Amino acid sequence: MQVTRQDFGGGPEKPEPETVLETAAELPLSGTDEIEHPSSKVVRFGLDAALRLECKQDLAPYQIAYETYGELNAARSNAVLICHALTGDQYVASAQPVTGKPGWWTSMVGPGKPIDTNRFFVICSNILGGCMGSTGPASINPKTGKPYGLEFPVITIGDMVDAQARLIDHLGIETLFSVIGGSMGGMQVLEWAARYKDRVFTAVPLATAAWHSAQNIAFHEVGRQAVMADPEWAGGKYTEEGRTPRRGLSVARMAAHITYLSEEALQRKFGRNLQDRTTRTFSFDADFQVESYLRHQGSTFVDRFDPNSYLYITRSMDYFDMATQNGGVLANAFRGTKTRFCVVSFTSDWLYPTRESKEIVQALNAVAANVSFVEIESDKGHDAFLLEEPELFATMRGFLGSAAAKRGLLPAREG
């Protein structure tokens, strides 16, 4: 566990110096050890290093949990920040401690992979509001000694990015070679490029949008209502009461999961195939494979995710609207940018359709930014960015390779 005091590198927001509040052993335990004491590295910011949130509240203390892969070069110029999506975490390329499963993007990140950890120093942090070690609603509220629950402030994508920036400061990195992420990770990429213009050499927003659509807000609201409808949610105080809104969170995950796939992918994977039976049972059993699959997705999710975190993170996405935040003109967010952008969408992604990526590209073009755009043919829906997509891998290799050359990074590992 890395708990060190260090000067900030100094971003445009000139944050106050970080302090270590207390040692890990002194912190009371919450629902799981991963919340306060993650298996990954963690950096804590104390009362004198409060994070000013968009809701005008100051958050202090808080901590950010993160993983790193590869080595930072002597010039500190090869750092890549990967931003995870709604239910992701810092374990981008290493085993997730709760599930024991491989990292969520091992096809993309690792030695010799498109985001090559022999070449790049990869950082991935659990977002603020998450439940894998960064401060969120499941964390202990130092004022009460109990989990925050709904006392946690409603955070935004911008707040997540500001917290990440403190981590990057802490690591002594002035400029990130790249900020990369899909879905909500892509929203963070856009905020990074907008908020920290001088600190982002390249930005790769994948399968994302500059604002959350009405349909996406609607699906999130269904998920939140499903969680809150579960009496085990107990007004958000389930941990204190020794309960868990398993069924509500499971329903929320099931609904969301449908939106991550395309109709074609569901049809191809499951169609109307029956599950372990040859005929309809004329019952409410999971006759169809797609039912069984969804129920499994719901029930396994509950084992690894905090229900209140789900509420807060979906809310942050609903609130995301870089146009409104910039006087109604998205291009304003990027005015003066020198960052090189690579925007990627997938043809069958109906959660963040290509049209919404094009709006980002148009805004970047309007400020004469350096931007390339790729729409990748895929029938895998929104989840395509996480899956084996050779064209995505080729795009990433090509873009990062070319940018690395411009940045003067050597192909082989330095160090």
Q: Which residues bind a copy of itself (CB under 8 A)?
A: 54-55, 150, 153-154, 211-215, 217-219, 221-222, 224-226, 228-231, 247-248, 250-251, 254-255, 258, 263, 266-267, 269-272, 280, 282-284, 286-288, 290-291, 294-295, 298, 311, 315, 318-319, 321, 324, 350, 353
For residues 342 and 399, the answer to whether their CB atoms sit within 8 Å is yes
Distances (CA, A) of 110 to 84, 204, 318: 16, 17, 32
Q: Please identify, using beta-carbon distances, which residue of 199 and 253 lies nearer to a copy of itself.
A: 253
Sheet strands (E) in 237-357: 340-346
Q: Please identify, using beta-carbon distances, which residue of 350 and 393 lies nearer to a copy of itself.
A: 350
**Strand, helix or coil at 118?**
coil
Q: How far is the CB of 232 from a copy of itself (least distance, A)?
A: 9
Termini Cα distance of the chain: 23
Q: Please identify, using beta-carbon distances, which residue of 221 and 303 lies nearer to a copy of itself.
A: 221
Q: Is position 162 annotated as part of the catalytic site?
A: no
Q: Please identify, using beta-carbon distances, which residue of 295 and 407 lies nearer to a copy of itself.
A: 295
Q: Please identify, using beta-carbon distances, which residue of 101 and 269 lies nearer to a copy of itself.
A: 269
- CA 241/CA 304 separation, integer angstroms: 19
Q: Is position 382 annotated as part of the catalytic site?
A: yes
Q: How far is the CB of 136 from a copy of itself (least distance, A)?
A: 15
Q: How far is the CB of 330 from a copy of itself (least distance, A)?
A: 13
H or E, element range at 375: strand 370-376
Q: How far is the CB of 220 from a copy of itself (least distance, A)?
A: 9
- Number of Cβ within 10 Å of residue 111's Cβ equals 12
Q: Is position 77 annotated as part of the catalytic site?
A: no
Dihedral pair phi/psi, residue 100, rounded to 5°: 75, 0
**Could you please report the per-residue DSSP string of 387-402?**
S--HHHHHHHHHHHHH
**Strand, helix or coil at 63?**
strand
Question: What pairs with residue 180 in β-bridges?
Answer: 82, 204
- Number of Cβ within 10 Å of residue 239's Cβ equals 23
Question: What pairs with residue 52 in β-bridges?
Answer: 58
Q: Name the active-site residue from 183, 309, 345, 378.
A: 183
Q: Name the active-site residue from 345, 349, 378, 383.
A: 349
Q: Please identify, using beta-carbon distances, which residue of 215 and 370 lies nearer to a copy of itself.
A: 215
**Strand, helix or coil at 277?**
coil
The angle that helices 307-319 and 184-195 make with each other, rounded to 10 degrees, is 50
Q: How far is the CB of 37 from a copy of itself (least distance, A)?
A: 28
The pairing of strands 62-69 and 41-45 is antiparallel
Q: Please identify, using beta-carbon distances, which residue of 41 and 224 lies nearer to a copy of itself.
A: 224
Q: How far is the CB of 227 from a copy of itself (least distance, A)?
A: 10
- Using alpha carbons, select from 166, 137, 164, 146 the residue that is nearest to residue 19: 166
Q: How far is the CB of 288 from a copy of itself (least distance, A)?
A: 5
Q: How far is the CB of 63 from a copy of itself (least distance, A)?
A: 22
H or E, element range at 376: strand 370-376
Sheet strands (E) in 173-215: 176-182, 200-206
How many helices (DSSP H) and strands (DSSP E) are in the chain? 10, 14
Q: What is the CA radius of gyration of the chain?
A: 21
Residues written for the chain: 415
Q: Please identify, using beta-carbon distances, which residue of 350 and 373 lies nearer to a copy of itself.
A: 350
For residues 38 and 133, the answer to whether their CB atoms sit within 8 Å is yes
Q: Name the active-site residue from 230, 262, 382, 383.
A: 382
The dihedral through the CA atoms of 354, 355, 356, 360 has a sign that is: positive
Q: Show which residues are catalytic.
A: 183, 349, 382
